[in-house]
Amino acid sequence: MTDSSRTPPQASSGPAAAGGAAHPRIRRSAPWLMLVYLIALAFIAFWPVPVDRDAHDSLLAVLDWLQVHGAPAWVGYRLVEFVANIALFVPVGLFVTIMTGARGWWLAVMVGFAASCTIELGQLIFNPDRFATVSDVIANTVGTAVGVALGLVLLRGGRAR
């Protein structure tokens, strides 16, 4: 046995080492998927009218039906909108966590929060038909945190292989 075979392997640095090595294809795809997602998010956030405008009456009819059939009073449009905002921002947390590694989880949350604040401010200033709200920022940040959790699970899964 030579001396070089007794030397422990050098720890690598970078995002993969920071949070586990996700499948290389996922790591390579994440920036491109994030770009496509951000383009879609920009269209949704800055569309001149609320994106649910055409479905609004149908959604209210479904919610009314649920109320008539025993759904709790808190199941209403505000809840649907809040949950939709959570779902809309899950990809932010997921993609940023995959790209930065587990140690960058906090950066993902900050990116989601900053993006949400930027969108809400943009809607307030440039789009009078849209409503900028603090509850949207909260829901979007929660969605980002859910995405971070999913990203951490994915990174851990990649490391366990």
Work out whether the CA dihedral 126, 128, 130, 136 comes out positive or negative: positive
Closest alpha carbon to 140 in 115, 105, 107 = 115
Q: Count of CB atoms within 10 A of residue 32's CB?
A: 10
Taking the CB of residue 102, how many other CB atoms lie within 10 A of it? 20
Whether the Cβ atoms of residue 148 and residue 97 lie closer than 8 Å to each other: yes
| 17 assigned to some structural domain | no
DSSP 12: P
Position 6 scores a pLDDT of 55
Per-residue pLDDT band for 2 (boundaries 50, 70, 90) equals low
Give the closest residue to 87 by CA, choosing from 143, 42, 147.
Answer: 143
In a domain, 96, yes or no: yes
What pLDDT was estimated at residue 3? 53
Whether residue 73 lies inside any domain: the answer is yes
CA quadruple 78, 59, 118, 86: dihedral sign: positive
Name the residue range of residue 53's domain.
23-160
Residue 77: the pLDDT is 87
Report whether pLDDT(161) > 80.
no
Global model pTM greater than 0.75: yes
6 inside domain: no
Domain contains 149: yes
Residue 138 has a pLDDT of 98
Report the distance separating Cα 43 and Cα 75, nearest Å.
28
What digits encode the pLDDT tens for the residues 18-72?
444 556 778 888 999 999 999 999 998 888 777 777 777 888 889 889 988 898 9
Q: Where residue 131 falls among pLDDT bands split at 50, 70, 90?
A: confident
Could you give the number of structural domains in the chain? 1
Domain contains 8: no
pLDDT at position 158? 59
Is the separation of the CB atoms in 143 and 90 below 8 Å? yes
Does residue 122 lie in a domain region?
yes
Domain annotation covers residue 4: no
